[in-house]
Amino acid sequence: MTTAIGVVLTDHIASARLEDERLAGNLLRYPQDPDAIEPLEAIPDSDLVQILAAQIETVANAKPGSVDAIGVAVPGIVRYGVVEESPNLPQMKGVRLADQLTSALKERGIAAPVHIANDADSIAAGVAATRGRLDKLTRVWTIGNGIGYGRWPYVEGVWEGGHITVTLDPKERYCGCGGIGHLEGIVGHRAMRMRFLDLEPEEVFANAKQGDIRCRKFVDLWHRALAAATASFIHLAGPGRFYFTGKNVGFLDLPLLRSHLETKVRMSPLQSFSLEILPPDDETALIGAGVSALREMK
């Protein structure tokens, strides 16, 4: 039996134990109250590392037996254990998270290898693991404050799909990275709030259903942008299955997305794609983080 600990660091921290690539035991959350207002971006990186170490220690000690690997999923560009960029957790930029967390765990008597992965990649790994598709290409869009693109199996690269260019309009400059024409600048929650200073994103989509012309035009743009980015990855890596999840996945109208996607993917060998919505949860990413860590050992 293989044992791993999966951890997800987003707008909160969640961790759990995995046995044979399945959750075993209760999920631990920080902060414990899901309604607590304690944004992680306000916590210094060194303190975040200690919080992560404390959670991992608690999970490790909750059950006897050694831990084979520890997988941590974080947003941003993650390579070789370093968080090179993380717009949603800016204090983590440049942090050698694998090294720092390994050191903090060693002080607590835990010596399992630590693997750091992008959070969207971890969701893709979790989807593949729970659906028996670890040998298949799996791609995931996470729709929230930022837009993440994850894929399994992982291949070397940056894969910042949320920053793919979907329009040449110079006025489209709402992306948090400062880039013009990015997917996240249209579909991301923060970008929508900047665009509609008089409406929250939820109100924009609700008003569109009521027939508001301005909101209806934007909702169509929102879906066209996501279709354009998805079409780009189909043209690069081929058709297949795409999953959509995240806190704002409820805004997604799959038939509308498909109708726009079909206008962009016209070559018949590339039209065998499928689209599926997944309810957002921590468990899928936790499993993916643990699976990625275990696979990294092989």
With a cut of 60, say whether residue 41 has pLDDT above it. yes
Mean pLDDT score, 243-254 = 97
Q: What is the mean pLDDT of the chain?
A: 94
Burial tier of 12 (Cβ tally within 10 Å: 0-12, 13-18, 19+): middle
Q: Is 68 helix (H, G, I), strand (E, B) or coil?
A: coil
Burial tier of 234 (Cβ tally within 10 Å: 0-12, 13-18, 19+): buried
With a cut of 80, say whether residue 128 has pLDDT above it. yes
Domain 3-119 matches domain 125-277 at the CATH topology level: yes
State the residue for tokens 């390579």: 79
Q: What is the domain partition of the chain in residue ranges?
A: 3-119, 125-277
Predicted confidence at residue 38, as pLDDT, reads 59
CATH class of the region 3-119: alpha beta
Quick count: other Cβ atoms within 10 Å of Cβ 89?
A: 22
Report residue 65's pLDDT band, with 50, 70 and 90 as the boundaries: confident
Cβ atoms of 293 and 4 within 8 Å: the answer is yes
Identify the helix (H) or strand (E) that includes residue 51: helix 45-61
Report residue 122's pLDDT band, with 50, 70 and 90 as the boundaries: very high
Mean pLDDT score, 172-184 = 95
Count of residues in the chain: 298
Residues 6 or more apart in contact with residue 151 via CB below 8 angstroms: 121, 124, 137, 138, 139, 140, 159, 237
Beta-ladder partners of 7: 15, 72
- List the one residue out of 138, 159, 137 whose CA is nearest residue 149: 159
Report residue 145's pLDDT band, with 50, 70 and 90 as the boundaries: confident
**CATH 3.30.420.40 correct for 125-277:** yes
- List the one residue out of 10, 12, 18 whose CA is nearest residue 286: 18
**What's the pTM?**
0.91
- List the one residue out of 244, 237, 229 whose CA is nearest residue 284: 244
The amino acid occupying position 168 is L
Predicted confidence at residue 39, as pLDDT, reads 73
What DSSP assignment string belongs to 97-125? Answer: HHHHHHHHHHTTT----EEEEEHHHHHHH
With a cut of 80, say whether residue 36 has pLDDT above it. no
Report residue 64's pLDDT band, with 50, 70 and 90 as the boundaries: confident
Burial tier of 106 (Cβ tally within 10 Å: 0-12, 13-18, 19+): exposed
